[in-house]
Amino acid sequence: MDELASKGVSGLLDPIAPGIAPGSDAANLSILGYDPYDACKGRGFFEAAGAGIELKPSDVAFRCNFATVNEDFIIVDERAGRIREGALELAEALQDIRLRENSDIEIIFKQTLDFKGVLVLRGDQISSNVAAEMPKAGYKAGSFRPLDASVEAERTSNALDEFFKISHELLKDHPVNKKRTSEGKPPANAVIPWGAGKLPRIELFYEKYKLKAACIAAVSLIKGIAKLSGISVIDVPGATGYIDTDTLAKADAALRAIKTHDLVFLHVEGPDEASHEGNIEGKISIIEKIDSMVGRIIDNVDLDEVSVVLLADHVTSIRHRKHTGDPVPITIASTEVIRDGVQRYNEREACRGGLGRIQGRHVMPLMLNLMCRPESLSG
Amino acid sequence: MDELASKGVSGLLDPIAPGIAPGSDAANLSILGYDPYDACKGRGFFEAAGAGIELKPSDVAFRCNFATVNEDFIIVDERAGRIREGALELAEALQDIRLRENSDIEIIFKQTLDFKGVLVLRGDQISSNVAAEMPKAGYKAGSFRPLDASVEAERTSNALDEFFKISHELLKDHPVNKKRTSEGKPPANAVIPWGAGKLPRIELFYEKYKLKAACIAAVSLIKGIAKLSGISVIDVPGATGYIDTDTLAKADAALRAIKTHDLVFLHVEGPDEASHEGNIEGKISIIEKIDSMVGRIIDNVDLDEVSVVLLADHVTSIRHRKHTGDPVPITIASTEVIRDGVQRYNEREACRGGLGRIQGRHVMPLMLNLMCRPESLSG
């Protein structure tokens, strides 16, 4: 990464604006040039699209967590010990859920990565205007409520409550959880939906920029942003969305993809996950793996031909275990840029870089300019 | 101030945007997170509120200057030699003014600090849409005129003209002025209203940020911005709004206030006043006093617990004796920020700082982020 900085121009990037802490949806949409205040009306729909569910425009979709709750529905672990093994079996137990009260609302649930999943509600008279908060240990699970006085919001809120409670009934005594409990692991005894979303209005990336783009990402949110903006999603074996991901496999996939695309968007989730967990060793290890990934890329591209842009989508503070509004370093490496003498990729050096302090919405215009096809403005 | 810079992250701040010269109202509103184009519709109302006048929503209010005019109403000194002693007596002479032509418009006049005062017009059919310019030596005083064709603007313009002329009649031979003349001082022989304002629409600061804030300021404009945004105003004995102010008393008041508030906004007017006067020694002396004030503050807070932000609300050029559109240095000192190696608080060093170049509207989001309660954007 330091080599990349020494071959480029650096700066500090506010994904949205100074001080604003973005969700991953807002941050990545902003970096791809979409107005995050307009495009991110609920991440659930992006998540479900990224999970490969064929969605209807009337669907309401949610991100879900397998979680551990106690008998009072208080969340004990919002990631159920980051369950991986057995998660698919648990998801299978949820495939035939029919709601009792809201039996006309169809339920589609899919596990995606580890403790993560998506829920789609399909039917008439449903709404995304419901409170369904990201689960957090210590808080009560399933505190869904309508955000307006409509029948649709009321029904949807009730449907979520039903889904959550049925998931608990079906999972609490599941053999996978009995085994987890016997091993001293937190059982994944409930599924908690959050991040209600409906079909976002998002201009196709190709229409917007006339660039053929590909996306390499493990997590459904990023894949979904790509799918809904018409960016090709490339699945990479070994990409896990966690600190154990195969960053070199991702680098190799990107190197192949750039031969047939104008732009490749490569996303690594691991540092965010490690930071949310307060796992400093894990964070260091995944950053080292990203360092190797960047090395693999710059060793195999000609910076005369290909620009390499390195940035973080947002800060996740390992101290606070959540996203903050701090800026991230960005480096744009290319033989086309005026190198600024910055030799290292970090916040302290980046603030002396030639890019100054820019915002997420500036990234795509800078890319287009590097490609000799800048947006132009003239009367 | 240099110590503060060395313990923080610095940058250059455009109070509004690059090149825009703000009035003090626009600058301070912007820094507090209000859209200055929306919130500052005439400073008079802020001034009157800050002067402690109980205002009605239909009132039209003005900032006023005691000034020295000649017999042709040409302004000789727009601050009447910065009158202090006797100003209150002169104001008393104006307490029972009744307009002759517009006798249904009630007149409320209050002297605030030195040559400064406020005027409130109260009644039906009045308007803030009148030209009433900040007085300047060499120009004709009392050149009021309506800015639209309404009866209200016409009446208000006439009322201002009447008020100005009556003030001249009542003040020109006042004993205070006779004494001033005999001492070779310019007489405060007229009151010139300017900065027409009506009730601004301004969201309460607490509603906007959920922060309990206090304001320490001498000048009515800043106090009025605080009052109208629901920020507690703390009066400090010895705070004069001029270069002779007691900055250490202000520091001590701020140190007490921060124990019971989330945010303390401390404003020192002196450098602006000295600059408007072209008084370089005065400007240096008040900057030295601010230096001591900052020293008192950082010696008595724990930067683990309290962030200290130092900025100027705008540049007042001592050469041009007016506000300019240049950026000001800003330093945010806290153990939470990534220190950028900047060791001094000045423009030359600040432009190398980690904040880069930011705008007034970014200050509050940066503060909220430092308080671990950033504005967040997520679907």
Is the pLDDT at B274 greater than 80? The verdict is yes
What is the rounded CA–CA span in Å between residue A7 and residue A301? 13
Q: How close is the nearest chain A Cα to the Cα of B169, in Å?
A: 54
pLDDT at position A38, please? 86
What is the rounded CA–CA span in Å between residue B43 and residue B29? 11
Which chain B residues are within 8 Å of A11, Cβ to Cβ? 356
| Residue B77 CA from chain centroid, whole number | 20
What is the rounded CA–CA span in Å between residue A299 and residue A308? 11
Question: Chain A within 8 Å of B238 (Cβ-Cβ)?
Answer: no
Under 8 Å between Cβ of B120 and B64: no
Q: Which residue of B has its CA nearest to A38?
A: B379
Rg (CA), chain A: 21
User: Which residue in B92, B18, B49, B365 sits closest to B198, CA to CA?
Assistant: B49
Is the pLDDT at B379 greater than 80? The verdict is no
Averaged pLDDT of chain A: 96
Question: Chain A within 8 Å of B350 (Cβ-Cβ)?
Answer: no
Averaged pLDDT of chain B: 96
Q: How close is the nearest chain A Cα to the Cα of B16, in Å?
A: 15
Percent of chain B with pLDDT over 90: 95
Pick B376's closest partner by Cβ from A21, A37, A197. A21
B87-122 tens-digit pLDDT? 999 999 999 999 999 999 999 999 999 999 999 999
Interchain contact, B378 vs A26, CB within 8 Å = yes
Residue found by looking up tokens 């423009």 in the block: B347
B17-44 tens-digit pLDDT? 999 999 999 999 999 999 998 887 789 9
Is the pLDDT at B359 greater than 80? The verdict is yes
Residue A27: strand, helix, or coil: helix
Q: What's the rounded mean pLDDT across residues B361-370?
A: 96
Q: What's the rounded mean pLDDT across residues A222-227?
A: 97
A71-101 tens-digit pLDDT? 999 999 999 999 999 999 999 999 999 999 9
Q: Is B101 exposed, middle or buried (0-12, 13-18, 19+ CB in 10 A)?
A: exposed
Q: How close is the nearest chain B Cα to the Cα of A302, in Å?
A: 31
Under 8 Å between Cβ of B206 and B230: yes
Q: What's the rounded mean pLDDT across residues B61-87?
A: 96
Question: Chain B within 8 Å of A341 (Cβ-Cβ)?
Answer: no
What is the rounded CA–CA span in Å between residue B172 and residue B325? 38
Which chain A residues are within 8 Å of B358, Cβ to Cβ? 18, 357
Q: What's the rounded mean pLDDT across residues B162-171?
A: 97
A100-140 tens-digit pLDDT? 999 999 999 999 999 999 999 999 999 999 999 999 999 99
pLDDT at position A379, please? 73
Is the pLDDT at A40 greater than 90? The verdict is no
Interchain contact, B338 vs A352, CB within 8 Å = no
Residue B152 Cα distances to A48, A152, B46, angstroms: 60, 50, 21
What is the rounded CA–CA span in Å between residue B31 and residue B35? 9
pLDDT at position A378, please? 78
The residues with which A330 forms a beta bridge, in sequence order, are A11, A311
**Nearest-5° angle of CA B133, CA B53, CA B218?**
75
Reported as a pLDDT band with limits 50, 70 and 90, residue B149 is: very high
Reported as a pLDDT band with limits 50, 70 and 90, residue B289 is: very high
CB contacts under 8 A, A 187-216 vs B, are 195, 197, 200
Interchain contact, A348 vs B362, CB within 8 Å = no
Which chain A residues are within 8 Å of B8, Cβ to Cβ? none
Under 8 Å between Cβ of A48 and A55: yes
Question: Chain B within 8 Å of A356 (Cβ-Cβ)?
Answer: yes
Question: Chain B within 8 Å of A330 (Cβ-Cβ)?
Answer: no
Question: Chain B within 8 Å of A253 (Cβ-Cβ)?
Answer: no
DSSP state of B325: S
Which chain A residues are within 8 Å of B379, Cβ to Cβ? 23, 25-26, 40-44, 46, 195, 197, 200
Which chain B residues are within 8 Å of A42, Cβ to Cβ? 379
Pick B369's closest partner by Cβ from A21, A25, A42. A21
Q: Which residue of B has its CA nearest to A132?
A: B379
Q: What's the rounded mean pLDDT across residues A151-172?
A: 97
Under 8 Å between Cβ of B16 and B359: yes
Interchain contact, B374 vs A23, CB within 8 Å = no
Is the pLDDT at B143 greater than 90? The verdict is no
The residues with which B214 forms a beta bridge, in sequence order, are B232, B264
Q: Which residues contact B172 (CB under 8 A, 6 or more apart)?
A: B187, B189, B190
The residues with which B322 forms a beta bridge, in sequence order, are B317
Interchain contact, A357 vs B362, CB within 8 Å = no
The residues with which B55 forms a beta bridge, in sequence order, are none
Q: What's the rounded mean pLDDT across residues B302-308?
A: 96
Under 8 Å between Cβ of B225 and B50: yes
A331-355 tens-digit pLDDT? 999 999 999 999 999 999 998 999 9
**What count of CB pairs under 8 Å joins A to B?**
93
Which chain A residues are within 8 Å of B31, Cβ to Cβ? none
DSSP state of B11: E
Interchain contact, B367 vs A19, CB within 8 Å = yes
Under 8 Å between Cβ of A280 and A321: no
Question: Chain A within 8 Å of B375 (Cβ-Cβ)?
Answer: yes
Interchain contact, A19 vs B355, CB within 8 Å = no
State the alpha helices, DSSP H only, in B231-269.
Answer: 247-257
Q: How close is the nearest chain A Cα to the Cα of B6, in Å?
A: 14
Q: How close is the nearest chain B Cα to the Cα of A227, in Å?
A: 17
Neighbour order of strands in the sheet with A8-14: A308-311, A328-333, A8-14, A356-359
Is the pLDDT at B127 greater than 80? The verdict is yes
Is the pLDDT at B266 greater than 90? The verdict is yes
Under 8 Å between Cβ of A101 and A29: no
pLDDT at position A3, please? 98
pLDDT at position B307, please? 97
The alpha carbon dihedral of A112, A116, A117, A118 has a sign of: negative
Which chain B residues are within 8 Å of A347, Cβ to Cβ? 338, 354
Pick B366's closest partner by Cβ from A11, A12, A19. A19
pLDDT at position B201, please? 87
Residue found by looking up tokens 């900057």 in the block: B287
DSSP state of B140: B
B308-311 vs B328-333, strand pairing mode? antiparallel
pLDDT at position A257, please? 98
Task: Mutation target for A interface from B335, B340, B368, B377: give the one with most A CBs within 10 A.
Answer: B377
Q: Which residue of A has its CA nearest to B340?
A: A348
How many secondary structure helices (H) and strands (E) does chain B include?
Answer: 14, 17
What is the rounded CA–CA span in Å between residue B83 and residue B3? 37
Residue B189 Cα distances to B170, B179, B250, angstroms: 8, 12, 33
Reported as a pLDDT band with limits 50, 70 and 90, residue B205 is: very high
pLDDT at position A42, please? 82
Residue A214: strand, helix, or coil: strand
Residue B22 Cα distances to A177, B45, B48, angstroms: 64, 17, 20
Residue B249 Cα distances to B2, B252, B267, B273, angstroms: 21, 5, 12, 19
Four-CA torsion A186, A47, B379, A231, nearest 10 degrees = 150
